[in-house]
Amino acid sequence: MTDQYSSPTPPAASNSADWDRAPINWTNMILFTLTPLFALTLVPWYGFTYGYSAYDWMVFILMMGFCGISITAGYHRLWSHKAYKAHPVLRFLFALGGACALQNDVFNWASDHRRHHAFVDNNDKDPYSAGRGFWFSHIGWILRHYPSSSQDFSNIKDLQKDPILQWQHKHYLALVLFMNIAVPAFLGYLGGNIIAGILLGGLLRLVLSQHVTYLINSLAHMWGKQTFSEKSSARDNPVIALLTYGEGYHNYHHTFQWDYRNGIRWWHYDPTKWLIRSCEWVGLTSDLKRVSPLSIETARLEMQYRKATERCDRLKNADTLRARLEEEYEQLKHTLDLWAQHRQQWYAAKSMQIHDQLHEKWEKNALRDSYREVRYQLKIRRQRWRELVQSFSEIPQVTA
């Protein structure tokens, strides 16, 4: 079936002469050529010659996490998508971490990202369209002055009102130098080795943190499952989530971009989600936006139905199988709606302490038992649905 891990053929790339003649961005070209070169040569040379201590590697790990979370929780979910609100202290830390990651200031980053969502996979308007290939979407788009990535702040007027972001934008170069040279050097000094601090906490961390983030623009649009929607090339991939602090559930994100979560299940690896939620407990975040379970499950079911229908049409006795599929789909959808209603009633009763207003014990139990019964019915319906779809693999296809 088409929901398995795959690398589909991306949209055809634009052949516009403007793209072919796009001038080189020499600042970025030099930066993104020299820093990986130095990381590949100086870091191992110094390690073999003088060695790194456990403290040096701890600094590297902590700075990797600080930069990564500042991009995912700050630049991405907070400022680009307004998925939650954050205390000024947290916003200030994210602004510093973003400068340390050296991925431009928030104004430029968020503006590009909002255009990416507005024109996803449009090779002429999406700043890092996956349709132009892995290299372009990963790093090539910032090595030349392409028309799709020209500076246009008309879509971030809300962010331009934030004094912390105004400060970061105004002093971005100074912050970059301070966070990437002074801070690693100081941390290295505390551990007794300034050069090791600069090489691991500064140089190696910078290169790796940048390319980890770029995987979200490139590989997360090419490798994985389209669980909720086929409207964009975005994919869900738990492997990429491990590398990108939870951003690998990218099909979900492009389907429900305002949700502060990317991994919606408790077992999904999404440390960005966990940080945002933890900060809510101590008052550093608020107004966390969540997509309703009904919307999520409905999107998932519709994708499964669409893919199962396509497969069904290629099998023998397609009309009979299609009728069974549609019947199961309608029954599952009805049960899903019923589950959502009972779930809302039950959780509203718990959160609003309606239990205290119900004078009879049987009334409280009836509400609870009704929800449990419908939840069990939904479990059975899902199982029947999965068994029906899986049975299609055992039916021979119609030969041409």
Is 319 part of a structural domain of the chain?
Answer: yes
Q: What is the 3-state secondary structure (H, E, C) of 41-71?
A: HHHHHHHHHCCCCHHHHHHHHHHHHHHHHHH
Is 177 part of a structural domain of the chain?
Answer: yes
The verdict on 260 and 371 lying in the same domain is no
Domain termination residue (choose one: 246, 263, 286): 286
From first CA to last CA, the distance across the chain in angstroms is 19
- Using the predicted structure, report yes or no on whether residue 11 has a pLDDT greater than 90: no
- What was the pLDDT predicted at 330? 81
> Is the CB of residue 101 less than 8 Å from the CB of residue 244?
no
- Using the predicted structure, report yes or no on whether residue 8 has a pLDDT greater than 50: no
- Find the mean pLDDT for residues 370-374: 72
Is 399 part of a structural domain of the chain?
Answer: no
**pLDDT-wise least confident of 210-219, 294-303, 336-345:** 336-345
- What was the pLDDT predicted at 323? 80
Distance CA 206, CA 64 (A): 8
The verdict on 204 and 96 lying in the same domain is yes
- Using the predicted structure, report yes or no on whether residue 222 has a pLDDT greater than 60: yes
- What was the pLDDT predicted at 363? 56
- What was the pLDDT predicted at 340? 75
User: What is the share, in percent, of the chain residues with pLDDT greater than 90?
Assistant: 65
The verdict on 281 and 297 lying in the same domain is no
- In this structure, the chain runs to a length of 400
- Shortest CA distance to 336 belongs to which of 375, 391, 282? 375
Distance CA 166, CA 221 (A): 32
- Find the mean pLDDT for residues 21-37: 92
- Find the mean pLDDT for residues 193-197: 97
The verdict on 120 and 222 lying in the same domain is yes
Q: Which two tokens stand for residue 261?
A: 């979560």
- What was the pLDDT predicted at 270? 97
- What was the pLDDT predicted at 246? 95
What is the average pLDDT value for the chain, to the nearest integer?
86
- Domain of 350, in residue numbers: 293-394
- What was the pLDDT predicted at 385? 67
- Using the predicted structure, report yes or no on whether residue 167 has a pLDDT greater than 90: yes
Contacts of 156 (CB under 8 A, 6+ apart): 107, 110, 111, 114
User: Dihedral angle at the C-alpha atoms of 263, 248, 108, 273, nearest 10 degrees?
Assistant: 30
The verdict on 104 and 207 lying in the same domain is yes
Q: Which one is predicted more confidently, 346 or 124?
A: 124
- Using the predicted structure, report yes or no on whether residue 4 has a pLDDT greater than 60: no
Other Cβ atoms within 10 Å of 36 Cβ, number: 18
pLDDT in tens, 119-165: 999 999 999 999 999 999 999 999 999 888 888 899 999 999 999 99
The verdict on 261 and 329 lying in the same domain is no
> Is the CB of residue 196 less than 8 Å from the CB of residue 184?
no
Is 400 part of a structural domain of the chain?
Answer: no
The verdict on 278 and 311 lying in the same domain is no
- What was the pLDDT predicted at 294? 87
Q: Which one is predicted more confidently, 149 or 357?
A: 149
Distance CA 128, CA 149 (A): 8
- What was the pLDDT predicted at 67? 96
Q: Which one is predicted more confidently, 382 or 191?
A: 191
- Find the mean pLDDT for residues 253-268: 94
- Using the predicted structure, report yes or no on whether residue 236 has a pLDDT greater than 50: yes
- Using the predicted structure, report yes or no on whether residue 7 has a pLDDT greater than 60: no
Q: Which two tokens stand for residue 350?
A: 């718990």
- What was the pLDDT predicted at 351? 58
The verdict on 45 and 90 lying in the same domain is yes
- What was the pLDDT predicted at 388? 72
Q: Where are the beta strands (DSSP E) in 244-376?
A: 285-286
Other Cβ atoms within 10 Å of 203 Cβ, number: 20
- Using the predicted structure, report yes or no on whether residue 259 has a pLDDT greater than 80: yes
Q: Where are the beta strands (DSSP E) in the chain?
A: 85-86, 285-286
- Find the mean pLDDT for residues 169-175: 97
- What was the pLDDT predicted at 12? 42
**Sorting pLDDT into bands at 50, 70 and 90, what band is 399?**
low
**Sorting pLDDT into bands at 50, 70 and 90, what band is 396?**
low
The DSSP-derived string for 11-32 is: PPPP--HHHHTPPB-HHHHHHH
Distance CA 235, CA 220 (A): 6
**Sorting pLDDT into bands at 50, 70 and 90, what band is 380?**
confident
The verdict on 61 and 129 lying in the same domain is yes
- What was the pLDDT predicted at 30? 95
Is 262 part of a structural domain of the chain?
Answer: yes
Contacts of 69 (CB under 8 A, 6+ apart): 97, 245, 271, 272, 275
The structural domain count of the chain equals 2
